Amino acid sequence: MSIQDQPPVAPAFALEDLRLWVPSSTTQALDAKRLFDIAVSLALIVLLLPVLAGITLAVAVESRGPVLFCQRRTGMGGRIFAMFKFRSMRVMENGAEVVQATQNDPRVTRVGRTLRATSLDELPQLFNVLSGEMSLVGPRPHAVAHDHYYGARIANYAVRQKAKPGMTGWAQVNGARGETPQLRHMQARVDLDAWYVEHHSFLLDLKILAKTPLEVLKRRNAC
């Protein structure tokens, strides 16, 4: 969808003004989460090598262009990083205007439609987790263009940057994924992300990881 031209409610969010903020967790807990991220992401990369190779071949054969799509996303503390996905579209939007994918989006390739429906296009983010830019669990990172837009219209939007972004999150396992055609849809997602930032724990992360495959199988709001 195109980002709707809605007036901002307040200049509540500016990436250049955001400072690194460490959640109210012990250093030991954060270190343990990092070790868990490294162990699991590395194990999954090794185990899924045949799947990664198969997807790479399918994307390359179907359409011209790079196999991987690299897009600037906002991480913890407002830090910008390059997030990887398998390319599922015929476009490579990564600038000041990024149009969200919609149901039956004509920009999505045939292979890409399957990848997006099953979330297999997200697998390259295991390398983002391994490098420390992302975590297995946390608020899903948005394109920088969307951060600027929604940050000026949703008062608590910046709370999302108080935790490391994740491959999956509390919002996603509660059905808040896919397109956000109206501002209230993004507000609902942000509220779920804010709840996670306030209540996150190792046990909650395990619960989210356990629910993620079930949510993917439902294909709820996937596009």
Amino acid present at 213? P
Give tens-digit pLDDT for 142-193: 989 889 999 999 999 999 999 999 999 999 999 888 788 899 999 999 999 9
Residue 15's pLDDT band, with cuts at 50, 70 and 90, is very low
Report if residue 209 sits inside a domain: yes
| Domain residue limits at 41 | 24-216
Report if residue 17 sits inside a domain: no
Report if residue 106 sits inside a domain: yes
Give tens-digit pLDDT for 71-120: 999 999 999 999 999 998 887 666 566 677 767 778 889 999 999 989 99
Report if residue 72 sits inside a domain: yes
Tokens representing 213 are 């495959």
Report if residue 4 sits inside a domain: no
Report if residue 67 sits inside a domain: yes
Q: How many domains does the chain have?
A: 1
